[in-house]
Structure 1
Amino acid sequence: MSAAQGWRLDDTAVTALMQARHPDPFAILGPHRTERGIALRVIRPGAETAEAFDPTTGAPLASLLRRHEGGFFEGLLPEETPYRLRFTAGPADWQEEDVYRFPSRFGDLDRHLLAEGRHRRLYERLGAHPTLLDGVEGTHFAVWAPNATRVSVVGDFNDWDGRRHPMRRHPSIGVWDLFVPGVGEGALYKYELLGPNGEMLPLKADPVGFAAQMPPATASVVHGLPRYEWGDQAWMEARHERQDRTAPISIYEVHLGSWRRRADGGLMSYEEAADALIAYAGDLGFTHIELLPISEHPFTGSWGYQPIGLFAPTRRFGPPEGFAYLVDRCHQAGIGVIVDWVPAHFPSDAHGLARFDGTALYEHADPRQGLHRDWNTLIYNFGRREVANFLRANALFWLEQYHVDALRVDAVASMLYLDYSREAGEWVPNAQGGRENLDAVEFLRMLNVELYGDHPGAISIAEESTAWPGVSQPVGADGHSGGLGFGYKWNMGWMHDTLDYVGRDPIHRQHHHDQLTFGLIYAFSENFILPLSHDEVVHGKGSLIGRMPGDQWQKFANLRAYFGFMWTHPGKKLLFMGGEFAQPHEWNHDLPLDWHLLADPFHAGMRDLIRTLNHLYRGEPALHALDCQPEGFAWIDAADAQSSIFIYQRNGRPGDPPVVVVCNFTPTVRRDYRIGLPQGGRWVERLNTDDGVYGGSGVGNGALTAEPTPWHGRPHSVALTLPPLATLVLAPER
């Protein structure tokens, strides 16, 4: 309790309190030692009388004088003693704890780490945490708003009245906190702030809120950290092996809201999705599921890429523990979980981070640095240590609290370049006069240092569309040099070139042969993932099958051959939902996939091919063990442009049998087509995408004996029949 001269509060301070404009309510409210004893000051709008009483005996301790008709009361306690408050209004009477008698939960270490921007678990202090304090149940609220002149927590527990619960300010760290007795899980709340000039701001959702209302409602919901009993210990202990560069990684990218719906058309819960999705993806042999952003977002049409509640799994599919259940069940089924994470920008919704405390707090003030005009979103100020800390702690939160295995970091290119999607004069150069966002580079390096250091076995993945060097190379020993430190990078160049190639009429492909060979020039410069993501089936691009030329049979044959090429090409694999059965329509986030198409043999055959490819990829070390090393690939013949044929060899580690791949991207059957082989003996077709079981014409070879006839620089060779628009995978018989 503070020492002060006198005990009655002056009228000016009373008025400031009742107008909710006093900057330091803890200096006045609650018990304070004075010359006359313990002065007790209380705000309770709507109350007519107030008294303090002994919580054990119920005996009155002090009757409090009503100094303001709005509900300000003041009196003297005889001594420092436990007390509660009793109020009346007309015939009603009730009891409450005094909010302003409780201490702060912020210790010296918390203040130190927050001030330096190094609090990796800041979510344990900020946000709304149901807790027991001094034997009283309630919720501790804390929010960073350094430039606000007053912050109150408002909610359904105080009639959204900012006079009721103004918060304690910690000037050294810009944080406001308050313990509110009696508030428990499920309560709705926001923060009411006055800006630097005393202006009232829109009510703000909690930046570190752990749950939120169902959109379009925007309040935060008291929840605290998720409470879940995990059963995935075996997965977590072996995770580093499942996500290593030498492991087979095949990712099924999913938008939960439109993958599948309930029979009544409603959204599936996390638990319902877990049961159905794990069975489906597991049957098809995918090693990982990647979820479009799970963080709470106000606009469904953003697919989650404009989040506001970075610490809250979206309420659309149920409570936070439901998401934990989904991850846990995936792990128990041997499937990893990747979550798309968006640190590049945030939406400008009034209840979100935009001008959070009346200033450009999370974003840059200069629109040349802080505004994404393409998306009408705001760019985080990565150079502000508190903002960078907020984002890094959020990344670690998903790994720590929800056991997420990987974060796919969205829009990395927009973070790295100050002139991203800007014309001359519309951007601000860095201190060296360059276009690189040095603050973002430092942020990403530190993010990966902390991610890999705190969570061994977890990985980060960059969606980076430029030739920025060393995206998936280690950060230097000093933490400020070297690569960016990601585990993997999406190979956007490969995706664009190859999709353009297979979208051409076969008669023209001979003139664009390099679109399938060029990717091997840089295939091992990064640890690549080959992505056929949601971005390729939206915004008028159509579907994968819709891009293929020719009649129906040729379209399906083209796509089967392309999938065969992709799954045997160096790099890990990613396929967006619906692609596995060749959904013909462009993806619509408001509708489920066209599951009825699986009654059609062509669509069912495509799904069966994906199953075969995944199991082949996982079962043949030559197809995955050296995915990220040049020793894992060799051209046998990349020069037959006229026939649009590609022949290559995949290698594993010493002792692993090689695999030879032949792609024929024309509808012409090639007979007696000789190819070189690395060894003699019997070879078998491990895969033929033209097999009738997949909807093909059934042209094939079966088992073959390599002849000691040198060809293509190899000591042995064999004459093949190449099926039309097909990929063959050959391996030594064993």
Structure 2
Amino acid sequence: MKQGPYDSATLAIVNADHYDPFSYLGMHGGGKSGVDVRAFLPYAQGVDLVDAVTGDVVAPMVRTHPAGLFSVHLASHKVRFAYRLKVTSGDSVHVLDDPYAFAPVLGEVDIHLLSEGTHYRTFDKLGAHVVEVDGVSGVLFAVWAPNARRVSVVGSFNNWDGRCHSMRLHPSCGIWEIFIPGLGAGALYKFEIKAQDGRLLPLKADPYAAFMEQAPGTASIVYDLDGYTWSDDAWMKQRAETGRCEDPISIYEVHLGSWRRNPEEGLRSLSYLELADELVPYVKDMGFTHIELLPVSEYPFEGSWGYQPIGLFAPTSRFGPPNDFRVFVDRCHEAGIGVILDWVVGHFPEDTHGLGQFDGTHLYEHADPRLGRHADWGTLIYNFGRTEVSNYLIANALFWLETYHIDGLRVDAVASMLYLNYSREEGQWLPNKYGGNENLEAIAFLKRMNEQVYSLYPGAFTIAEESTAWPMVSRPTYVGGLGFGFKWNMGWMHDTLDYIAFDPIYRKFHHDDLTFGLLYAFQENFVLPISHDEVVHGKGSLLGRMPGDVWQQFANMRAYLAFMYTHPGKKLLFMGCEFAQGREWDHDDSLDWHLIGDKRHRGVQTLVRDLNHLYRDQPSLHHHDNKPEGFSWVECHDYGRSILAFRRHGLDDVDDIFVVCNFTPMVREDYRLGVPFAGAYREVFNSDSSHYGGSNVGNSGLVNTQDVSAHGQACSLALTLPPLAVIVLRREDLKLGQGD
């Protein structure tokens, strides 16, 4: 059909409105009628068709539309042949390969799995990949936008002109692709998408981008992830053979941008490589087993700390390129330190270059705001029931484990995913098909994600930040659980922080804040978290929560940390807490490292270092962390004196240790601790040691049992309990007979 002097196909091409540009551009025909070649090059002044084999000019192409459409009919050529285009633009002449000369790259199996939502390596196919096709190097772009009328790749290489590189659609799976020859790593790009109603959407970043511009820039960057050589084979082998629940796990939670800044260069954040040189040795020296990073997936807003990510597949460029992040992980593993990422899949921001209304429809999010929007956070909720969306998220989890050798994923805001009425009033949410408030689709997604992680990556694990009483969060899916390896114990954290904030004179009225957690301590595989959330938003620092004068504040802090390390559960401590930073954490500033010059702060740092080594060295403190056989009370009712005593059980009785906590500033002389075996017991830890800045009250190393019954045992120890302190005792030898 003619429209003026041009047919509709020509007008569709020059207006970037052709649904299938590959059916028109490139080489077509053959046989008796010869072949036709068409190319749309809006910035070209002249184009010649060149034989790709001989390099000879076959024929000049004719400008058939002033916008830059060139064509030539070759009646004498009955068979299609490999060709190139010799393009003249101004004073420059370039010979280039035509993107529309290449056949589809995505195979039938990929297309089938992508449409089915079971392609767990979508990151190998979607996004931008530096590849070689038919002997020609370039970049293959692929993006899911099933409802789009047209999708183009735009970038610095085509003047951000959506007419130049319109993509090919695979209708069965809604994926658009194009191979752009001659392009390489470093090119900036986005996707220009025209909705079905003809609207031109804001340029979209690549959902699978491996690298992205630093904010305020929003472009994706072509990056070649191939070719990095890892040096952590020994770590990965050892990880695969290790049982996580029985191992000591002590996590140092870090916000990379504010851990330490360079004061000589305007307090800039350290790079991944600098962090590898400074953070890794520090964590190793402190005895932590893992580093947990606040989200590193690319995010536009600094104040979100990474919890509103745009580029799920791109380590933030704030600290360097992706391979530098690999170096950081590699160096962690060389030092024997695991790496855990905070993984945010409960919601995503509404930034126009992100996933919202990606192809002009609610593609990644629910259309109904009662399902698809978090009013509290101003963010959108993934449509977990859509197979392609859940596939995208599961593939992202596996991508970090595969491409960056990440050891664990801590899944953020799980409660918001599990409940349809999370933070919603009546009438603001929709029940599930059974009338309940459980998000059945999110539950199915989490189970499938965990199953894939544990089946494909031995030794890797997942942690749920889940703040409700949802049952069996950290139990296998085959017994009805969600399949996580661990769960944050938010109840323990809130109760114990409330308790320690009370003046000691009032603590006897709140004794159960310390003991209540043991009623449910083994229902899940718990991590005890003192996280970033506890030192922001006006809560002050951990030290600032402690009551009393300065001496008592530091003593309370040491006692609280010692209680955490001896309590059942894996450990997590946010950066700065290990040396008792006095002010609230500020993501725009460095930690107050100068405080370590003060012996009180240095004492807390030394205490945490020693606690980490005690926790790691004593099997009784970690091997049965998540099992009731690993713990028993010795004394939990002495609320009047705010004293607790308990026993941590090891692999056998010889490994057992005894913990006594005195949460008042009074020294308790001749405190009777019943023990099951006669003999000598060594005080292996005392948070009141002068080594940590304490008053050095204690038991001078060894204490011998006496034939005095206490706590249901025939023999006991007469102990001196230091003020606001925790002591740990281990049997030095075994004397059979009395008390045995």
Query: When the two structures are superposed, what TM-score results if normalisation uses the length of structure 2?
Result: 0.96
Aligned to 1:12: 8
Which runs of 5 or more residues in structure 2 are unaligned?
734-740
CA contact (8 A) 1:449 1:485 kept: yes
**What is the correspondence of 1:143-182 to structure 2 with a 5 Å cutoff?**
143-182=143-182
CA contact (8 A) 1:259 1:592 kept: yes
Distance 1:242 1:616 in 2: 20
CA contact (8 A) 1:243 1:249 kept: no
* Partner AA of 1:191 in structure 2: F
Partner SS state of residue 244, structure 2: coil
Residue 271 of structure 1: CA displacement? 1.1
Distance 1:648 1:47 in 2: 81
Distance 1:436 1:352 in 2: 28
Q: Does 1:59 align with 2:61?
A: no
Q: Which string of whole-angstrom CA distances, capped at 9 and with x for unpartnered residues, describes residues 583-633 of structure 1? A: 011000011100000000000000000011001001111111100000000
Distance 2:125 2:330 in 1: 26
CA contact (8 A) 1:622 1:656 kept: no
CA contact (8 A) 2:500 2:560 kept: yes
Aligned to 2:737: none
Partner SS state of residue 428, structure 1: coil
Partner SS state of residue 370, structure 2: helix
Residue 708 of structure 1: CA displacement? 2.5
- Which deviates more, 145-154 or 41-50? 41-50
CA contact (8 A) 1:242 1:248 kept: no
Residue 28 of structure 1: CA displacement? 0.7
Q: Does 1:466 align with 2:474?
A: no
Distance 1:88 1:698 in 2: 84
Aligned to 1:725: 724
Partner SS state of residue 16, structure 1: helix
Partner SS state of residue 704, structure 1: strand
Q: Does 1:207 align with 2:188?
A: no
Distance 1:110 1:715 in 2: 71
Aligned with residue 625 of structure 1, among 598, 623, 626: 623
- Which deviates more, 83-92 or 177-186? 83-92
Aligned to 1:578: 576
Residue 719 of structure 1: CA displacement? 1.2
Residue 90 of structure 1: CA displacement? 4.7
CA contact (8 A) 2:669 2:721 kept: yes
Aligned with residue 27 of structure 2, among 24, 31, 40: 31
**What is the correspondence of 1:208-607 to structure 2 with a 5 Å cutoff?**
208-240=208-240, 242=242, 244-262=244-262, 263-264=264-265, 265-476=267-478, 482-607=480-605
Distance 2:328 2:243 in 1: 19
Residue 677 of structure 1: CA displacement? 1.2
Residue 300 of structure 1: CA displacement? 1.1
Distance 1:560 1:601 in 2: 13
- Which deviates more, 267-276 or 344-353? 267-276
Q: Which string of whole-angstrom CA distances, capped at 9 and with x for unpartnered residues, describes residues 509-557 of structure 1? A: 0000000000000000000000000000011110000000001000000
CA contact (8 A) 1:227 1:321 kept: no
Distance 1:226 1:595 in 2: 38
Q: Which string of whole-angstrom CA distances, capped at 9 and with x for unpartnered residues, describes residues 293-329 of structure 1? A: 1111111111111111100111011010111111111
Residue 675 of structure 1: CA displacement? 1.3
Q: Which string of whole-angstrom CA distances, capped at 9 and with x for unpartnered residues, describes residues 454-495 of structure 1? A: 00110000000000000000011xxxx610000000000000
Which runs of 5 or more residues in structure 1 are unaligned?
none
- Which deviates more, 75-84 or 675-684? 75-84
Distance 1:211 1:113 in 2: 25
Distance 1:656 1:353 in 2: 57
Question: Quick one: structure 1 residues 272 and 242, their matched pair in 2 at CA, closer, same or farther if it must change by over 3 Å?
Answer: farther
CA contact (8 A) 2:225 2:323 kept: no
Question: Quick one: structure 1 residues 550 and 141, their matched pair in 2 at CA, closer, same or farther if it must change by over 3 Å?
Answer: same
Distance 1:718 1:81 in 2: 93
Distance 1:71 1:443 in 2: 48
Q: Does 1:44 align with 2:45?
A: no
Partner SS state of residue 149, structure 1: strand
- Which deviates more, 177-186 or 653-662? 653-662
Question: Quick one: structure 1 residues 435 and 246, their matched pair in 2 at CA, closer, same or farther if it must change by over 3 Å?
Answer: same
Aligned to 2:738: none
RMSD: 1.4
Distance 1:184 1:231 in 2: 27
Distance 1:102 1:139 in 2: 12
Q: Does 1:99 align with 2:99?
A: yes
Q: Which string of whole-angstrom CA distances, capped at 9 and with x for unpartnered residues, describes residues 186-213 of structure 1? A: 0000000001211100000000010011
Distance 1:240 1:410 in 2: 25
* Partner AA of 1:636 in structure 2: V
CA contact (8 A) 1:533 1:575 kept: yes
Distance 1:162 1:710 in 2: 85
Distance 1:406 1:164 in 2: 42
**What is the correspondence of 1:134-145 to structure 2 with a 5 Å cutoff?**
134-145=134-145
Residue 656 of structure 1: CA displacement? 4.3
Distance 1:240 1:588 in 2: 37
Aligned to 2:186: 186
CA contact (8 A) 2:147 2:174 kept: yes
* Partner AA of 1:431 in structure 2: K
CA contact (8 A) 2:654 2:731 kept: no
* Partner AA of 1:343 in structure 2: V
Aligned to 1:68: 65
Question: Quick one: structure 1 residues 156 and 380, their matched pair in 2 at CA, closer, same or farther if it must change by over 3 Å?
Answer: same
Distance 1:52 1:275 in 2: 54
Aligned to 1:712: 711
* Partner AA of 2:272 in structure 1: Y
* Partner AA of 2:726 in structure 1: T
* Partner AA of 1:142 in structure 2: A
Partner SS state of residue 451, structure 1: helix
Question: Quick one: structure 1 residues 550 and 241, their matched pair in 2 at CA, closer, same or farther if it must change by over 3 Å?
Answer: farther
Partner SS state of residue 530, structure 1: strand
Residue 55 of structure 1: CA displacement? 3.0
Residue 137 of structure 1: CA displacement? 1.1
* Partner AA of 2:42 in structure 1: P
Residue 564 of structure 1: CA displacement? 0.8
Aligned to 2:689: 691
Distance 1:90 1:566 in 2: 72
Partner SS state of residue 347, structure 1: coil
Residue 241 of structure 1: CA displacement? 5.1
Distance 1:394 1:585 in 2: 36
